[in-house]
Structure 1
Amino acid sequence: MSTQATEAPVTVFMLVKTTRAWLDKTPEERMHALTTEIVPVIEAKTTGVRSRFFDTEFYSTRVTDVWLWEARDHQAYQLLIDALRETPFWDHYFEVVDLLVGVENGYARTYGFDTVTTINT
């Protein structure tokens, strides 16, 4: 058994649906909006946050994208959400359908177990 003393990073699966305002933009306009309207606000108001993006629109009509956010702690996550809400991301370009917030291997951390993972290559 191993016990980690540091706070576990927060992982958030942000399920979103694109709005007409986003879809009416060209791909170039979308990239411009991300890099000029959204990312600078996140970078100015947060630290210890990173993101990854997954397209799901070809498999789901309720959720078109999943944004995976990893924050070093709960305060960094809260600052991220506050920053996003101050941009057109929130409820203009995207409808936030759900937030699934978790701590990776939280059960193992709570009880001092080694984590169990699978790798099959």
Structure 2
Amino acid sequence: MSTAPTESPVTAFMLVKTTPEWLAMTVAERVRAFTTDVVPVIEARTRGVRSRFYDTEFYSARVTDIWVWEADDHDAYRLLIDALRETPFWDRYFEVVELLVGVENGYARTYDLPPAATLAT
């Protein structure tokens, strides 16, 4: 068994669909809404959380965007979700379609194995 720490970074793939309310806003209004209604709550209520954003509406009608959230541990992830649910992000600006949460190379940590990954050459 591995002697690695029990907590490991958590990655969440949050599949969302934009709502009519979000789409009715201009780009400037969207930026303002996100930076004033969502970001301050995340910053005030979380720690050890990072995000990346991917547009997918070009390829999918069901999911228009994917937010990739990386949290230092499960508690940081829980705080993030609690914070998001108290903002217009959750079910006003975006419908959360699916949450896929995992730990990178969890099996390798459990069995004390090297991760199976490919590298570009």
TM-score, L = length of structure 2: 0.95
Query: Structure 1: which 4+ aligned runs deviate by more than 6 Å?
Result: none
Distance in 2, matches of 1:26 and 1:20, equals 12
Provide the secondary structure at the position in 1 that maps to 2:110: helix
Within 5 Å, give how 1:65-80 maps onto structure 2. 65-80=65-80
Shift of 1:6: 5.2
Q: CA RMSD in A?
A: 1.1
Alpha carbons 2:10, 2:104 under 8 Å: kept: yes
Alpha carbons 1:105, 1:115 under 8 Å: kept: yes
User: Which residue identity is paired with 1:79?
Assistant: L
TM-score, L = length of structure 1: 0.95
- Tell me the residue number matched to 2:30: 30
- Tell me the residue number matched to 2:10: 10
- Tell me the residue number matched to 1:87: 87
Distance in 1, matches of 2:58 and 2:80, equals 28
Shift of 1:5: 2.5
* TM-superposition CA deviations, 1:47-105 (whole Å, max 9, x none): 00000000000000000000000001111001100000000000000000000000000
Provide the secondary structure at the position in 2 that maps to 1:4: coil
- Tell me the residue number matched to 2:62: 62
Q: Which runs of 5+ in 2 are unaligned?
A: none
Alpha carbons 2:7, 2:74 under 8 Å: kept: no
Distance in 2, matches of 1:43 and 1:32, equals 16
Q: How many equivalent residue pairs?
A: 120
- Tell me the residue number matched to 1:110: 110
Alpha carbons 1:49, 1:80 under 8 Å: kept: yes
Q: Which runs of 5+ in 1 are unaligned?
A: none
